[in-house]
Chain A
Amino acid sequence: MAVQINLKELSKKEILLSPGHRLCAGCSAPIIAKMVLLAAADYPVVANSPTGCLEVSTCISEYTAWKVPWIHTAFENAGATLSGVETMYRAWKKKGKIDKDVKFIAIGGDGGTYDIGLQSLSGAMERGHDLLYVCYDNGAYMNTGIQRSSATPLGADTTTSPAGTAIPGKVQKRKDLTRIMAAHNIPYTAQASPSHWSDFFKKVKKALEIKGPKFINVISPCNRGWRSRLDDAIQLSRLAVQTCYWPLYEVVEGVTKVTYKPREKKPIEEFLKVQGRFKHLFTPENEWIIKKFQEDIDQEWERLLKEESRDS
């Protein structure tokens, strides 16, 4: 299933998330949402967002940035809400009220996906609804002010896991949601990054061609929460990939394929040192956290490569 991306053709397409939304300067969530909608531009799309940064900033009072039908109902239920929409579509189709091939896409943050919305997402995947769930993972509850989530990486300083004199930031490592979703044995699971746009586009397009539940996890740098520069979202997401903190891979019908292998795996310090949330790790007493961080990454990368060679 080779998917070709033509940049010239893409540039002619309408952007379906309009400017004027109220996301922060330098936020990668709207970049990701626009990329998803652009990659889906061949189809009519119905979108859904759980409560979160993207949701509160794109539809306020009479104003909406969404040029496709879009629904938000609550925080913990994107999977169930979109299940309902998609099921009504099937009811309409059965009765001949609609003949278009509509794609249903949820775009939610890590709080609404990894944590409070996990049950609803898991249910939607298990039931086999024909929908794509895209998580933009910025690694904390950024909308409510940078509280730790189960997507927050080890050692990160957040407002509820502050780096203090007794506890050096978040003491747990992050949940590997992509693997959890792959373990649902759904037809398509992937990890993507806005820095590797071609890879990301291909994954969205590929997912949309497959019937059934699909999940794509996308790294989404947040300069407010990561304490980084306003203009570094793409650079940070690239570093996440190059350090193998955020491996790019897909699991298609149970077969794992790493879609990008850095020629040289950068040390995790490269990713950590440009973020204020990890500043406190660069002290002698917290060095062990960086060491642990690197070990976890190496272990996971090895596991992934092994899984790929097993499947190839």
Chain B
Amino acid sequence: MARVAAVTGNEAVAEALRQINPDVCAAYPITPQTELMQRFSSFVSNGKVDTEIILVESEHSAMSACVGAAAAGGRVATATCGPGLALMWEMLYVASGMRLPIVMAVVNRSLSAPLNIHGDHSDAMGARDSGWIQLWSENVQEAYDNTIQAFRIAEHLDIRLPAMVCMDGFIISHSIARIDYLEDDPVKNFVAEYKPVHPLLDLDNPKSFGPLILTDKYHEYKRAQHEVMTRVKDVVLAVAAEFEKMSGRKYELFETYRLDDAEIGLVILNSAAGTAKDVVDSFRERGVKAGLLKPRLFRPFPYEEYAQALKDLKAVAVLDRADSFGGYGPVFMEVCSALYPLAKRPVAINKIYGLGGRDFLPQHAAEVFTELEAIARTGRVKITKEYIGVRE
């Protein structure tokens, strides 16, 4: 039942949104997301969807309108990237605090200054504490599949949280790749009719949204938000199982690649994981037990599962396409937290790569594997956090 096409990442996510047909979308143009909402706007203009679109005057207003629309009681989607996501920051917390299942495509882009429009993960990593579910996508296919699954996860009645689907700006958003589209009806059936919970538009039962809550109960509200997050991973797996039945494509909390018997491994997000998989193969051909883990669900972070998957490695390198200046990269910090409870754990190092869209080349992955081989042999780490591919 698949429909094979060659499309960009933006086109693929726009197509998913067409099939899902949200009630309301609010959006603001920003490179490299612009094309996504342009395509969706043409679906609106040509009557391919019933969606009411709000073309706002900023990303802050985009998320504010999404919050208003979702509280009113319907399915809501938007898309942004980089500085746009940064401008939304305040409202991200409002969306999750109000338990509104908004789905947002994040076309990962770097943050200013200096101004740069290319792909890195600074935007979504900066939003990792905002209470949004985060799904990350290696390629066009995953961006499409994750978008469809995100609605089911976000809107699940045990969850009711907003979700962002991340894909690399330009590298995926603007590169044409092969995709297996699902037909419209199975997608519509999969996401099903939206069930509003306490809609503001239920005029006979007036509700107040957005109270002031001070020291007496705020702490409890926030703990409740954490608790609901802990239920997300089971829902992600259940939705993935159903999605697999429909599509034949398997999704988990993360993807492991030749990791089972590996002695050295990389943890790497999104498009660069594709490049690194080829390098895993070349090391395997040389008899080196190399493997890879590619995160999919980054928030909530499945710590136990990571520990289980990585525990037998001798050395692991976590590659971050975002930085925490004066600290370690965000993925590294999580992976180390996952490994710490293990009595015997791999040596871990952190590499920062590809900021502002700098290419991540096979040779970069190869250099890291070579370093990991030495660490596995000697147990010695020269430097924990390093930048790769830096032009001196």
Interface residues of A, Cβ cutoff 8 Å to B: 44, 46, 48, 55-56, 59-62, 64, 66-74, 76-77, 79-92, 94-95, 98, 100, 102, 119-120, 122-123, 126-127
Chain A residues whose C-beta falls within 8 Å of the C-beta of B262 in the assembled complex: none
The answer to whether A73 and B67 have CB atoms under 8 Å apart is yes
Q: Is B309 an interface residue (CB 8 A)?
A: no
A17 shortest CB reach to chain B, Å: 11
Within 8 A of A (CB), among B199-236: 200-203, 206-214, 216-217
B76 shortest CB reach to chain A, Å: 8
Q: Is B68 an interface residue (CB 8 A)?
A: yes
The answer to whether B66 and A84 have CB atoms under 8 Å apart is yes
A43 shortest CB reach to chain B, Å: 10
Q: Is B175 an interface residue (CB 8 A)?
A: no
Cα–Cα, bound, A90→B52 (Å): 8
Of the residues A46, A83, A90, contact of B65 by C-beta under 8 Å: A83
Stretch from B56-64, B154-162, B314-322 forming part of the interface with A: B56-64
Cα–Cα, bound, A72→B72 (Å): 12
Q: A44-B203, A80-B64 in contact; A59/B72 too (CB < 8 A)?
A: no
Q: A74-B91, A88-B74 in contact; A81/B211 too (CB < 8 A)?
A: no
Q: Is B12 an interface residue (CB 8 A)?
A: no
Supply 26 A–B pairs (Cβ within 8 Å), ascending by A: A46-B203, A59-B211, A60-B214, A61-B211, A62-B211, A66-B206, A72-B210, A73-B98, A74-B91, A76-B60, A77-B64, A80-B61, A80-B62, A80-B64, A83-B65, A84-B54, A85-B200, A87-B65, A88-B52, A88-B72, A88-B74, A88-B76, A91-B52, A94-B52, A123-B57, A123-B58
Q: A74-B94, A80-B64, A94-B52 in contact; A56/B212 too (CB < 8 A)?
A: yes
Q: Taking CB as reference atom, which chain A residue is nearest B60?
A: A77
Q: A56-B212, A60-B212 in contact; A67/B67 too (CB < 8 A)?
A: no
Q: How many B residues have CB within 8 A of the partner chain?
A: 45
Q: Is B50 an interface residue (CB 8 A)?
A: yes
Chain A residues whose C-beta falls within 8 Å of the C-beta of B64 in the assembled complex: 73-74, 77, 80-81, 83-84, 120
Question: What's the A-B contact tally at a CB cutoff of 8 Å?
Answer: 166
The answer to whether A69 and B212 have CB atoms under 8 Å apart is no
Cα–Cα, bound, A84→B200 (Å): 11
A48 shortest CB reach to chain B, Å: 8
Q: Is B24 an interface residue (CB 8 A)?
A: yes
Chain A residues whose C-beta falls within 8 Å of the C-beta of B58 in the assembled complex: 119-120, 123
The answer to whether B209 and A55 have CB atoms under 8 Å apart is no
Interface centre among A64, A84, A127 (most CB of B within 10 A): A84
**7 closest Cβ pairs, A-B complex:** A84-B68, A88-B72, A123-B57, A80-B61, A72-B210, A84-B65, A80-B64
Of the residues B61, B94, B211, contact of A123 by C-beta under 8 Å: B61
Of the residues A59, A100, A122, A127, contact of B208 by C-beta under 8 Å: A59
Q: Is B23 an interface residue (CB 8 A)?
A: yes
The answer to whether B212 and A85 have CB atoms under 8 Å apart is no
The answer to whether A122 and B57 have CB atoms under 8 Å apart is yes
Q: Is B368 an interface residue (CB 8 A)?
A: no
Q: Taking CB as reference atom, which chain A residue is nearest B28?
A: A123
A47 shortest CB reach to chain B, Å: 9
Add 7 more A-B contacts to A64-B208, A87-B26 (CB < 8 A). Answer: A61-B213, A61-B216, A64-B211, A69-B203, A80-B68, A88-B76, A119-B58
